[in-house]
Amino acid sequence: MKVLITGVDGYSGWPLALHLLARGHDVVGLDNFVTRRRVKEVGSWSATPIPAFPRRQAAVREVLGKELGFHRGDLADYDFVRQVLATERPEAIVHLAEQRSAPYSMIDVHHAVDTQVGNLTGTLHLLYAMREVAPDAHLVKMGTMGEYGTPNVDIPEGFFEVEFRGRKDRLPFPRSAGSWYHWSKVFDSGDVMYASRIWGLKTTDVMQGVIYGIRTPEITDDRLLTRFDFDETWGTALNRFIAQAILGLPITAYGKGEQKRGFIALEDSIQSLRIAVEHPAGPGEYRVLNQFDAAYSVNELAEVAHRVASELGLPATIEHPADPRVELEQHYYNPLHDHLVELGYRRTRELSEVVREIFRDLLRFRRRLEARRHVVLPTVQWRSADSGPALAARRPSEPTPSAPEKPSDEPAPAGPTA
Amino acid sequence: MKVLITGVDGYSGWPLALHLLARGHDVVGLDNFVTRRRVKEVGSWSATPIPAFPRRQAAVREVLGKELGFHRGDLADYDFVRQVLATERPEAIVHLAEQRSAPYSMIDVHHAVDTQVGNLTGTLHLLYAMREVAPDAHLVKMGTMGEYGTPNVDIPEGFFEVEFRGRKDRLPFPRSAGSWYHWSKVFDSGDVMYASRIWGLKTTDVMQGVIYGIRTPEITDDRLLTRFDFDETWGTALNRFIAQAILGLPITAYGKGEQKRGFIALEDSIQSLRIAVEHPAGPGEYRVLNQFDAAYSVNELAEVAHRVASELGLPATIEHPADPRVELEQHYYNPLHDHLVELGYRRTRELSEVVREIFRDLLRFRRRLEARRHVVLPTVQWRSADSGPALAARRPSEPTPSAPEKPSDEPAPAGPTA
């Protein structure tokens, strides 16, 4: 099957490309390398070294014996999007090219607008380009479990049966997100659902849990590694905990640490996306998949990181600073996730095993963590206007497809600023 | 009370300013005159002649003996927004400055993106500026009943009690809009609700029904008239029906004509907004008001227009062309609307009486209708890419605050193009 991956240079896009190539699919990617720039913007980098994209393509050729097609450009440019779809005629489009950090979206008004406008524009451009030149393609859109918030009822997969004042209907489950970023995903869901309805597009909206891990079976060579972000803006809580343990810093679990979220291992997330691609939605169908394996609290994550660190002889402690986010610290959480299982999904990885694997990899790249040890503490405050000055002073970078830029993750000569 | 009205030059903004001034409030407006430009873009104009803004201000001074403050600028410019709020320190902000046409948003990809990005950016800028310099102000945000779609259950005011799999919660009622424009209002609602939650802002989200009428008690002079748009892009169905009847054209009710929507007279809509302003939401409260009086089907509107035309000796016929929109032609429709009544709202106007009033006014401006008789037929198709060529070829205008422009509604010398 011919598959286009937007955001192919990213954390999920890269291993998905490797996996689909290994399965015999024809894969072409698209990226504007904005994540590399934005991680630099907060003074950080990936703990795993990420080669420039042409070197990634060369490694794919050498290690997997496969050709990964690529278009450099920006989804903000409609003519570019339409031309890529018209040229490549993909049967499936996996849309991962969005600003993906909640803290980044909360830095200030400009980062909030940039996140919502950028994500919404990219998705609308893809939808219109599909209608124009690829109406039979299947869109697999990356959303987030965070669209649902933490309601006091079970969370269905997208839709539920409502009974209200004596009448019944099947309606979209109400969304209640917890950051401007998460709201941008809610907005995308609305637009994808609507485009599917009026134009008959085939669409799958993936409510993705938090992903953990760096390895998939295809990553057999360090040149094929995917990103591992550990700074407060771009890294997940678990990633920061592991980085903190390796750096000898206290593991910082915000607040009471009882906030729960859905999680899935990278390898199983890639398995899920592959299943969605290989089992397309029907014409006019807007299919929602809740994509996670298990719900963990922040404390459970901190404890796993602490336990594995201890096994490895790393002294670690857990601290509970005040939560800079606005979120319920204690709440009910029971999202359903049956659709993927019905399509053949089986969980293959367990949290503690993957955490051990991450520690082993990161200990090899310890020097890269040491060089950026200042970035693992929070600077963005959800409530007040007082975000870290180095962040708040900057407007978000505005990438243009033609900007001359070295797509590499190597450290800038100047010292870190945040 | 000091009230800032964004979009003060518009259909609702203008009579709201007059009414609040007459009630003794201190009113300042803001506008970028984009609606005037966009109505020209589709080759139309307001049936009522609308003077340039300084002449409107002069008429307010002369007729009402009041001073209407004004800032010309664009909500897309955050520094402008913050400066207006910092200078004026409004106690209430009525936010009406949004792209308000569903057909306009459906013209093509650029109009879709322009509508969603513009509306969302303006609202986010207002929210951030409130947090920064006017955290105690009360935001009254114009939404639309169209956010809810046409579910098969009663529509509550924003929130409802959900029972799902044996547990209960109070959740936002699911939104399911019917155009990119209506979705932009859904997105705004999400952002306003969230800002209220994290920053404690006072907010009221008005789910506005379709408004009909041109007159309010303060409009005692033709220089104080508000807009009456009758073209397919900017006019409502009822407005087009009345224009068609006056022009001797068949009244065109799309499809079966059984699509139902909520309606309210302009005078009562202004009454509602005034009540919302005078009874602010509390800190951190996100209050939703369903603002309409009665639900009418398209056929009922066509019949009222037909009946009043006959009374006035205008021969009129009703036709049913295929519906260019994607909407259910037969459906249940029962939205609740108790909150405003609890705050003291009382309906003062009836549909047929207001329709008579509109006919009387428009017959005086019949020559302005005659000069634009070609604009009342639909050119925008919801489903296909084939919108009217004159529309689809154009990118949306991109106003800048500094653009030299005559804010007047006088006809351009060149002939109409759509």
Tell me: the pLDDT tens digits for B266-320? 999 999 999 999 999 999 999 999 999 999 999 999 999 999 999 999 999 999 9
User: Which residue ranges make up each domain of chain A?
Assistant: 2-382
Confidence of residue A326 (pLDDT cuts 50, 70, 90): confident
Confidence of residue A347 (pLDDT cuts 50, 70, 90): very high
Q: Which of B125, B152, B169 sits opposite A109 (nearest CB)?
A: B125
Active-site residue among A11, A35, A148, A185? Answer: A185
A167:B154 CB<8 A: yes
B228 is written with which tokens?
Answer: 């009456």
At residue B155, the pLDDT reads 97
At residue A330, the pLDDT reads 84
Judged on CB neighbours under 10 Å (0-12, 13-18, 19+), B102 is buried
- Gyration radius (Cα) of chain B, Å: 20
- pLDDT of A404 > 50? The answer is no
Residue bearing the bigger pLDDT, A199 or B373: A199
Residues 6+ apart with CB under 8 A from A263: A209, A210, A211, A212, A238, A292, A293, A294, A295, A296, A351
Rounded Cα distance, A111 and A327, in Å: 20
Q: Give how far Cα A9 sits from Cα of A6, A52, B272, Å.
A: 9, 10, 52
Confidence of residue A276 (pLDDT cuts 50, 70, 90): very high
Chain A residue with minimum CA distance to B113: A121
Range with the largest mean pLDDT of A43-47, A402-406, B387-391: A43-47
Tens digits of per-residue pLDDT, A76-100?
Answer: 999 999 999 999 999 999 999 999 9
A78:B109 CB<8 A: yes
A167:B152 CB<8 A: yes
- What are the chain B neighbours of A131 within 8 Å (beta carbons)? 385
B2 is written with which tokens?
Answer: 């000091």
A169:B177 CB<8 A: no
Chain B residue with minimum CA distance to A181: B191
Confidence of residue A255 (pLDDT cuts 50, 70, 90): confident
Q: Among all residues of B, which ones are annotated catalytic?
A: 144, 181, 185
Q: Which of A156, A171, A186 sits opposite B190 (nearest CB)?
A: A186
B152:A168 CB<8 A: yes
B294-297 vs B260-265, strand pairing mode: antiparallel
Rounded Cα distance, B273 and B345, in Å: 10
CATH 3.90.1150.10 fits domain A2-382: no
ipTM value of the model? 0.91
Helix B78-88 with B109-133: angle, nearest 10 deg: 40
At residue A387, the pLDDT reads 45
At residue B256, the pLDDT reads 86
- pLDDT of A203 > 90? The answer is yes
Interface test with A, best of B83, B132, B171 (most A CBs within 10 A): B171
A131:B175 CB<8 A: no
Rounded Cα distance, B239 and B242, in Å: 5
Provide the residue type at B112 as one letter.
A
Q: Which of B113, B168, B385 sits opposite A121 (nearest CB)?
A: B113
In 3D space, the residue among A187, A95, A286 whose CA is nearest the CA of residue B191 turns out to be: A187
Q: What distance in Å separates residue A388's CA from the closest CA in chain B?
A: 16
Confidence of residue A235 (pLDDT cuts 50, 70, 90): very high
A132:B385 CB<8 A: yes
DSSP codes joined into one string, A318-330: EE-PPP-S---SS
Active-site residue among A181, A254, A296, A345? Answer: A181
Interface test with A, best of B77, B109, B199 (most A CBs within 10 A): B109
Residue A289's φ and ψ, nearest 5 degrees, are -115, 120
Q: What distance in Å separates residue B335's CA from the closest CA in chain A?
A: 12
Q: What distance in Å separates residue A256's CA from the closest CA in chain B?
A: 19
Q: CA quadruple A307, A309, A312, A316: dihedral positive or negative?
A: negative
Rounded Cα distance, B243 and B365, in Å: 11
Rounded Cα distance, B385 and B378, in Å: 14
Q: What distance in Å separates residue A84's CA from the closest CA in chain B?
A: 16
Out of A129-133, A154-158, A410-414, B49-53, pick the least confident. A410-414
Residue B345's φ and ψ, nearest 5 degrees, are -65, 135
- What are the chain A neighbours of B112 within 8 Å (beta carbons)? 124, 128
- What are the chain A neighbours of B174 within 8 Å (beta carbons)? 162, 171-174
Print pLDDT tens along chain B (418 aa). Answer: 999 999 999 999 999 999 999 999 999 999 999 999 999 988 999 999 999 999 999 999 999 999 999 999 999 999 999 999 999 999 999 999 999 999 999 999 999 999 999 999 999 999 999 999 999 999 999 999 999 999 999 999 999 999 999 999 999 999 999 999 999 999 999 999 999 999 999 999 999 999 999 999 999 999 999 999 999 999 999 999 999 999 999 999 988 888 899 999 999 999 999 999 999 999 999 999 999 999 999 999 999 999 999 999 999 999 998 887 778 778 999 999 999 999 999 999 999 999 999 999 999 999 999 999 988 876 666 665 444 434 443 445 433 333 333 444 443 333 332 2
Q: What distance in Å separates residue A206's CA from the closest CA in chain B?
A: 19
Tell me the CATH number for domain B2-376.
Answer: 3.40.50.720
Judged on CB neighbours under 10 Å (0-12, 13-18, 19+), A65 is exposed
B132:A385 CB<8 A: yes
pLDDT mean over A204-219: 97
Tens digits of per-residue pLDDT, A371-385?
Answer: 999 888 766 666 654
Chain A residue with minimum CA distance to B77: A110
Chain B residue with minimum CA distance to A201: B383
Chain A residue with minimum CA distance to B147: A190
Q: What distance in Å separates residue B325's CA from the closest CA in chain A?
A: 9
Q: Which of A162, A177, A385 sits opposite B131 (nearest CB)?
A: A385
At residue A380, the pLDDT reads 61
The CA-CA-CA angle for residues B308, B309, B315, to 5°, reads 150
Out of A159-173, A310-324, B7-21, B281-295, pick the least confident. A310-324
Identify any residues that bridge with A171 across adjacent strands, giving them in sequence order: A160
At residue B401, the pLDDT reads 35
pLDDT mean over A120-145: 98
The CA-CA-CA angle for residues A146, A152, A153, to 5°, reads 90
At residue A45, the pLDDT reads 97
Q: Which of B129, B153, B167 sits opposite A169 (nearest CB)?
A: B153
At residue A383, the pLDDT reads 62
8 A C-beta contact, residue B210 and residue B160: no
Provide the residue type at B174 as one letter.
P
Rounded Cα distance, B288 and B175, in Å: 13
Q: Which of B172, B187, B326 sits opposite A197 (nearest CB)?
A: B326
Q: Which of A124, A153, A176 sits opposite B109 (nearest CB)?
A: A124
- What are the chain B neighbours of A117 within 8 Å (beta carbons)? 117, 120-121
Residue A254 among the catalytic residues: no
B167:A156 CB<8 A: no
A212 is written with which tokens?
Answer: 């953990």
pLDDT, averaged across chain A: 91
- What are the chain B neighbours of A192 within 8 Å (beta carbons)? none
- Percent of chain A past pLDDT 90, that is, above it, reads 84
Q: Give me the total of CB pairs closer than 8 Å, taking one residue from chain A and one from chain B.
A: 145
Complete edge-to-edge strand list for the sheet that includes strand B260-265? B210-212, B260-265, B294-297
- Gyration radius (Cα) of chain A, Å: 20
- What are the chain B neighbours of A175 within 8 Å (beta carbons)? 172, 190
Structure letter (DSSP) for residue A145: G
Rounded Cα distance, B368 and B225, in Å: 15
In 3D space, the residue among B100, B95, B368 whose CA is nearest the CA of residue B234 turns out to be: B100
- pLDDT of A392 > 50? The answer is no
8 A C-beta contact, residue B5 and residue B89: no
At residue B322, the pLDDT reads 85
- pLDDT of A402 > 70? The answer is no
Chain B residue with minimum CA distance to A178: B194
